[in-house]
Chain A
Amino acid sequence: MATLFRPAERWRNRALILFALVLFFFALVLPFGMAVLWSLVDPSHPWAYPNVLPPVLSFRRWVEIWTTTGLQQALVNSYTVALTVSIATILLALPTAFAFGRMEFRGKAAAQVLTLLPLAMPLFVLAIFYVTILSKLGIYSRFLGIAIGHTVCLLPYAIRLLTVSFSGVRQDLIDAARDLGASRLTVFRHAYLPVLKPGLLAALIIVFILSIEEFAISYIVGAPDFTTVPTILFSYLGYNFIRPSAAAVSLILVVPNVLLMLIAERLLKSAGASGAAGKG
């Protein structure tokens, strides 16, 4: 591949890669490194100007956040909502994605555009008037309110991902299975499921992560007593700016989600590969 490039282009590419690495270091590695340092600042030895590094490092702040704040409850709330939302979203998205991925019908393109509506709506506008709708409908459960809001807002992602998976199922495999007398269930298990599985898992993970990360609906609907990880992080970043606590909660929010997202990306790549290769 490299032979396609002239020596001058190769050198230019190397220089640009180096520039990208330096930029990445300053834009991500260094800020995260500082967040880690701030989360380890010992509460009895503050890190203040002119100290370049924290005078004493300890896990006391982590222990303090874990035992004395509402973080544990916020984690339980975030993960319970996200689990409910991801299952509900996938169940609702599956039939629609099947229609988009496997069927031709009048108005398909318009319907596909309509599914993207939540992405075009400013989320705080949605959140504020969604609360009014909930109270008019008599839905006062904050858990249910947030779960319904997240489900509707994240449907576009699940529908899109599953549509791609459904369209990757090969028609000749389905026809061959039917010709061999396979029942509907057998056709689904042998022709659909192997191709759908990676996309399904990826959609589940992506919706799960996006629900954990969602802030506007959780903040407006959940206020004041239903906290999630982003709302607790916001409370540390607002007027009451507690930097070491914010650093610790930031890491708690980011690290698991990055790991899950990497798994989702791997699954999506394998879904693309199996679809393209006609595996399954």
Chain B
Amino acid sequence: MSSRRTLAPYLLLIPGLAPIIVLMTLVIGMAVSQSVTWTDVSGKVSLSLEAWRVTFESDQFWRAFLYSARIGTLGAILSVAFAYPVALWLRRPFAGSDLVSALIKAPILVHGLVAAFLYVNFVSFQGFLNVALVGLGLAARPIRMQNDPYAIGVVVLQVWKNMPLAFLILSGSVRAISDDVLNAARDLGAGTFGRLRRVVLPLTLRSLQAALIIIFIGAAGDYTFQAVAGPTSLNSMAQFMVRMETDNGLQGVSLAAVVAVMLMGLSLCGSILLAGLMQFLVKRAGR
């Protein structure tokens, strides 16, 4: 009876957890193993680091790697930077705060591809922005802003889509800070900025890190925003991986596998770095 009881929760975990662990293990295992195999022109498969050599010698790969790292970092930092003050503002409910909160969360309901289309439509030759610029006399004729070479559009889309997510994560922890704690800090002489640095930021550090990590992973692995609104001369890592797989025949899977492993590495290392940086900044601000 006792052993049945001890085993029961683990048996109940199987239907939900086992498919996740099996699929993730298979996918990671497949990516790593494919990255160290190479198929020659005759179709013979052998263990080799050739795919790594070819990928690392490719300028396009490093451009894609740095580009995804940049988009992930900018997307995560800007989304959190915009969401944090709003979460602080809406910490205490007031007339209209529920409305603002609902408006901020609205982009979560919009599919990424639809968001990309709305953006492209907004900045296109016939879009509102160009019509307004020409109408206001700020431009003589429409300006080409679609697929801009600096990827400003992609960053705008990342922030547009992820800021509500950051707000959702941050607002919970900001609201959990009790007034008693803040009043105690005030009684001890801390001003508004002092309370923010020494009380609010440390108490919301975990949420800040969680928001940064979730957004960074999503933005670094982005495909749709880049494909629709990104610069045409650059690839994101996901886009580059798909291209490697489709354009390189027999060696395509191995080359895509190297990019996949590097993308997973970027997600992991970037997340750790951002979380560490946030911890360092919050601790430093609290001194």
Contacts and interface: CB of A to CB of B under 8 A. Distances in A.
A246 B117 contact: yes
Interface string A189-224: 000000000000000000000000101100010000
Interface residues of B, number: 77
A248 to B, nearest CB: 11
Q: Which of B93, B117, B253, B257 has the most CB of A within 10 A?
A: B117
Interface of A is mostly: helix
Contacts of B24: 117-118, 121
A108 B253 CA distance: 37
A17 interface: yes
Interface string B253-276: 100110010011001000000000
A261 B59 CA distance: 44
A32 B23 contact: no
Contacts of A4: 92, 94
B94 A1 contact: yes
B119 interface: yes
Contact of A49 (B30, B34, B125, B253): B125
Interface stretch (B47-55, B105-113, B197-205): B105-113
Contact of B241 (A108, A124, A215, A250): A124
Nearest to A14: B96
A105 B13 CA distance: 11
Interface stretch (B73-81, B185-193, B222-230, B279-287): B222-230
A169 B257 CA distance: 46
Q: Which of B107, B114, B217 has the most CB of A within 10 A?
A: B114
Contacts of B245: 128
Contacts of B9: 99, 103, 105, 108
A176 interface: no
Given A122-B221, A233-B113, A114 B21 contact: yes
A254 B117 contact: no
A124 B227 CA distance: 13
B80 to A, nearest CB: 18
A72 interface: no
A230 B31 contact: no
Interface in A6-34: 10, 13-14, 16-17, 20-21, 24, 27-28, 30-32, 34
Given A49-B126, A115-B20, A92 B116 contact: no
Interface string B1-41: 00000101110111111011101101100110010000000
A99 B9 CA distance: 5
Contact of A155 (B14, B19, B112): B19
Interface in A90-144: 91-99, 103, 105, 108, 111, 114-115, 117-126, 128-130, 132-133
Contacts of B257: 129
A95 B27 contact: no
Nearest to B104: A20
Interface of B is mostly: helix
A125 B106 contact: no
A126 to B, nearest CB: 5
Contacts of B12: 95-96, 98-99, 103
B136 interface: no
Nearest to A10: B94
A226 interface: no
B267 A120 contact: yes
B112 A97 contact: no
Contacts of A227: none
A48 B264 contact: no
A237 interface: yes
Interface string A226-250: 0000100110011000010011001
B19 A92 contact: yes
A114 B20 contact: yes
A132 B253 CA distance: 9
A149 B19 CA distance: 10
A125 B16 contact: no
B163 to A, nearest CB: 10
A180 B132 CA distance: 72
B27 A31 contact: no
Contacts of B89: 16
Given A1-B94, A103-B8, A31 B19 contact: no
A129 B111 contact: no
Given A5-B94, A132-B253, A250 B264 contact: no
A258 interface: yes
A42 B10 CA distance: 60
12 contacts: A16-B100, A17-B96, A34-B118, A92-B16, A114-B21, A120-B217, A123-B221, A125-B260, A129-B30, A133-B30, A152-B20, A247-B117
Given A32-B118, A125-B31, 14 more contacts: A34-B121, A35-B118, A47-B126, A99-B8, A105-B6, A114-B21, A117-B20, A126-B23, A128-B256, A152-B23, A159-B16, A215-B223, A234-B113, A237-B116
